[in-house]
Amino acid sequence: MRVLAAMSGGVDSAVAAALAVEAGHEVVGVHMALSRNRDQFRTGSRGCCSIEDAGDARRAADVLGIPYYVWDLSERFEDTVVADFLAEYEAGRTPNPCVRCNEHIKFEALLDKATALGFDAVATGHYARVVTRDVPDASASDGVRSVRELHRSPNEAKDQSYVLAVMGPERLARAMFPLGDFASKDEVRAEAARRGLSVSAKPDSYDICFVADGDTQGFLRDRLGARPGEIVDAEGTVLGEHDGAYAYTVGQRKGLGIDRPAPDGRPRYVLDVQPASNRVVVGPAELLSVDRIEAGAAVWFDGARPAPGERADVEVQVRAHGAPVAARVRAAGDAIEVELRGTTLRGVAAGQSLVVYDGPRVLGQATVDRAYRAAARSADRSAGQPAPTGAG
């Protein structure tokens, strides 16, 4: 196959490209320049897409003996990933830019361009597995058809199936994850060293790639400007002021800007962000726990969508490295209704990605629209009143 290897300049993508070459594919390396103002060097483990990263990717391609190109996707990245990030925070939601990058850049812009150029697949350094199995299909000539499934990586600490779930079945059909069977990052680094790749000891990048200094609130403030408003408790009592509700997220404890402690001395957390009134609502930890979630813009993998009216027993995960929890899920159009089973989740915010699993297999993904407080629902049931339908 003709394979386009996405090479970030890190060890994972370099080894992924090496394994694609070793498998006998015709491989071409490409580095995506995503920043309009590229720094010369990375700052430790922060940031990405620097000129240094492009140079590291080129050196890896030279070692592997494959052609190498740099594609400028910075305008597409700004117009999709960064714009979505700003719009979601401005709307009082909490986005995951890595999910949007995989959706709009790596498995849309990059994959579509690769297909137009005649490549059969795109290989990346993500930690996830693609499992192919045969399922009965009466319409097939031999009575079966092959289904490609997205599965968790055996490397639980680095598993990236959560941020890949948004890609859906059509894009999964043209994706390769050569690191899928590696159980640890040390194995990948050892593989890089064995092959003479200079990035074998390069630090991992983390945090939001376009907020290289890690100051997300500062980035939002620079882009969106100061918008003073009130911080209130659940009863509406004003406790303090803020410079922009967009800088807060559900579950946040630190940096609330409240001068006086709660009457009971317990810490306060952000319960809700209300962009219409420009208010931030804070309260005790027990009001962060939710037991029901509604999510929209659902994407299901081949054969994974529950039948109409069916409530499937699954697991759901709402953070990239969060623990999956038992749930019952019903699909309704392009939405998902989730009822947690015997547990609650804390601090679920609108805008987060909700991924549905069956063991290691990814079934689908949706974006959280509303979460219902377990404590409020319990109190209302005790009072004989219907549970509230508000967010958070």
Residues flagged as binding site for ATP: 6-13, 32, 125
Q: Cα–Cα–Cα angle for 225, 93, 111, nearest 5°? A: 100
Neighbours of 26 (CB within 10 A): 14
What distance in Å separates the CA atoms of residue 3 and residue 114, rounded to the nearest whole number?
9
Q: Which of 48, 49, 98, 209 is catalytic?
A: 209
C-alpha–C-alpha distance, residues 215 and 184, integer Å: 30
367, 351 Cβ separation under 8 angstroms: yes
Q: How many whole angstroms separate alpha carbon 286 and alpha carbon 128? A: 35
**Which residue shows structure tokens 């031999």?**
142
Q: Which of 340, 43, 335 lies closest to 213 in space, CA to CA?
A: 43
Task: Quote helix, strand, coil % in the chain, to nearest 5.
Answer: 30, 30, 40
Q: Is 101 a catalytic residue?
A: yes
Phi first, then psi: what are they for 127, rounded to 5°?
A: -95, 95
- What Å distances lie between residue 164 and 96, 112, 212, 247, 265, CA to CA? 12, 16, 22, 26, 42
Exactly one of 48, 49, 98, 101 is catalytic; which is it?
A: 101
Annotated binding site: 6-13, 32, 125
Interatomic CA distance for residues 127 and 374, integer angstroms: 34
Query: 98 an active-site residue?
Result: no
State the residue for tokens 């089973």. 341
Distances 278 to 91, 219, 232, 250, 391 between C-alpha atoms, Å: 10, 19, 11, 14, 16
Partners of 280 in the beta sheet? 231, 273
Using DSSP, state whether 343 is helix, strand or coil: coil
Structure tokens of 18? Answer: 């090496």
Q: How far is CA 373 from the centre of its chain?
A: 24
Assigned token pair, 186: 């040390």
Burial 205-215 (b: 16+ CB within 10 A, else e): beebbbbbeee
Catalytic residue numbers?
101, 209
